[in-house]
Amino acid sequence: MLARLRVVIPDRAGALGVLTSAVGSTGAGVVGVRVLGTEAGRATDDLLVEVRGTAHLQRLAHRLAGTAGVVVEGVRAPARLSDGSAELGLATQVLERPAHAARTLVDGAPAALDVDWAAVVHLDRHGCAVGVEAVSEPGPGAGAVRTSAPARVGTTPLPRPDGSGPCAGAALLPAGRHPVGVLLVREHGLGLHRAELWRLGALADVVAGALSRQLPGTAAAAGAPA
């Protein structure tokens, strides 16, 4: 099983080696590391690991939390191997199928972007969602898209479809200057880090044209005054 652990470690030489050695000591394997950012002498990384199951993952998280200088901020399991190539591949698929851009995007987003589900929504002149064009399958119905915050490159509060509490992370990203938004949701586990949001926001900009051509009236509305 793939799992993603968000860890904060000292931003100094050798710190990542200590971290990966701790992972190896539990019998888990490091599949990838993504540096999300550094601040005040600390680095935040997403560590993608291969574990044998939930119990093994719990032991690993406990081992890392007990390593000097390491803070485990959160865990997402199962996780998907999302990287720049996966995101580029999804964007290419959307651009190659403009007549089905919204459906291609929401169906490919969970695997390519490591989210639970996605939606393409219509935005009003204030940038708020006013209609749903497509939602991931499998995923919640259109009624689960109940965000009232305007689209921006940042997180937005969103309740879980089952009403059990707020989603771990959600973002309603604007698609260029068009009245179209891309909603990306992680119901459980890790939230969406600001480094992820800037990258995903760029992806939304890349596919904005294809999405706007598919949605009736979008191109005209894009030029309307706010």
Going along the chain from its start, the domains and CATH numbers come out as 2-76 (3.30.70.260), 84-222 (3.30.450)
d(CA 204, CA 180): 9
Which pair of tokens denotes residue 157? 């509060």
Q: What pLDDT is stored for residue 226 in this prediction?
A: 35
51 CB neighbour count, 10 Å cutoff = 23
Q: Give the distance between the most distant pair of CA atoms in the chain.
A: 59
Q: What pLDDT is stored for residue 216 in this prediction?
A: 62
Q: Is the pLDDT of residue 90 over 50?
A: yes
d(CA 70, CA 47): 12
pLDDT range class, residue 110, cuts 50, 70, 90 = very high
Q: What is the pTM of this model?
A: 0.89
